[in-house]
Amino acid sequence: MNKETLRQFLIDSNKAGYAGGEEKKWIKEPDGSTTIPYTQGKWRSHDNFFGGEPYGGRVVVFNEDKPIWMMVYYGWVAEGVETDPVYATLRGALKAMPEEAPFRGPKELVVGELTYRNSWTGDVERYSGEEQITQGEKLIYKANYMGGLVDQRRGV
């Protein structure tokens, strides 16, 4: 498996997924979750989440139908805060995903009076991070995420 190809797939699938806002292509599952599928040649991703508020989910990337990478995430918008501007800012940040760290958004993005910040450690093989959106000094959104390569050698 080529890590540069994985990195590019993560960027492409992210832009076509939640960041792309193509909700008509999303699948509402019987368990109440939502799935955002994406396929590109022998690669495919499966982003499945529960939400509303708060929300949580996971993304699994497959190459030739073998799971090779995943991310789990959990986030929330503060009580009393209108969610539409927060999630519009989040989508903008996800569209600006840095190529060197294709997990979530860039280190910082300012959209009007909202500021998105993202900090992470690691690389595409193993990483964790936290993203926040503030309005002035007030924290109005926070999410944590982690993941990396999976099923690379024999285990359990």
Each residue's pLDDT expressed in tens, for the chain with a length of 156 residues: 688 899 999 999 988 878 776 777 899 999 999 999 999 999 999 999 998 899 999 999 999 999 999 999 999 999 999 999 999 999 999 999 998 899 899 999 999 999 999 999 999 999 999 999 999 999 999 999 999 999 877 766
The residues, any chain, with a CB within 8 Å of residue 93's CB and separated by 6 or more, are 104, 105, 106, 109, 116, 118, 131
Number of helical H runs and strand E runs in the chain: 2, 9
Give pLDDT, residue 49: 96
Give pLDDT, residue 34: 94
State the CB neighbour count (10 A cutoff) for residue 1. 11
Give pLDDT, residue 29: 95
3-state secondary structure 31-48: CCCEEEEEEECCEEEEEE
Euclidean distance between CA atoms 88 and 35, whole angstroms: 19
Q: Is the separation of the CB atoms in 105 and 118 below 8 Å?
A: yes
State the CB neighbour count (10 A cutoff) for residue 71. 22
Rg (C-alpha) for the chain, rounded Å, is 15
- For residue 112, list its beta bridge partners: none
Model's pTM, two decimal places? 0.90
The residues, any chain, with a CB within 8 Å of residue 66's CB and separated by 6 or more, are 151
Give pLDDT, residue 1: 64
